[in-house]
């Protein structure tokens, strides 16, 4: 992550804590986000099938890595929006 991205993440975590009136560790946010994505696996697969697989990024090409990341952001966003809430609780 870039320094700017790290600052944005720290600000986000602080805002969540302030709004929820409790400290929200990054590990909890990460785990929750992964559970949401994993719950949407079927919808993510359908999205990949409909938009096609991403191009493999070139090793030292920032632009191709940016497109690769953007692809996955869009796939995860579309898939999770179509998914039903998880049936089981974490833990």
Answer positive or negative: Cα dihedral of 8, 23, 85, 39.
positive
Question: Six-digit token pair at 16?
Answer: 């969540």
Question: At 60, phi and psi to the nearest 5?
Answer: -110, 25
- Work out how many domains the chain is built from and give that number: 2
Residue 69 lies in a domain: yes
Within-domain flag for 34: no
Q: Would residue 1 count as lying in a domain?
A: yes
Asked if residue 72 and residue 53 are part of one domain, the reply reads yes
How do residues 23-74 score in pLDDT, each as one tens digit? 999 999 999 999 999 999 999 999 999 999 888 888 889 899 999 999 999 9
Q: Smallest Cα–Cα separation from 46: which of 19, 80, 13, 15?
A: 80
* 44 and 25 share one domain: no
Asked whether residue 16 falls in the same domain as residue 48, the answer is no
50 and 69 in a single domain? The answer is: yes
Q: What is the pTM of this model?
A: 0.77
Residue 23: domain span: 1-29
Predicted confidence (pLDDT) per residue in 36-47, tens digit = 999 999 999 999
Q: Please tell me the predicted confidence (pLDDT) of residue 84.
A: 78
- Residues 45 and 21 occupy one common structural domain: no
Task: Report if residue 17 sits inside a domain.
Answer: yes
């Amino acid at each position: 992550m870039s320094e700017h991205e790290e600052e944005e993440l720290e600000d986000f975590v602080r805002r969540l804590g302030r709004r929820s009136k409790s400290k929200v560790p990054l590990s909890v946010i990460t785990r929750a986000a992964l559970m949401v994505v994993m719950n949407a696996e079927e919808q993510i697969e359908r999205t990949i099938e409909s938009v096609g697989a991403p191009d493999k990024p070139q090793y030292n090409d920032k632009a191709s890595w940016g497109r690769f990341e953007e692809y996955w952001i869009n796939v995860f966003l579309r898939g999770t929006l179509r998914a039903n809430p998880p049936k089981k609780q974490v833990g």
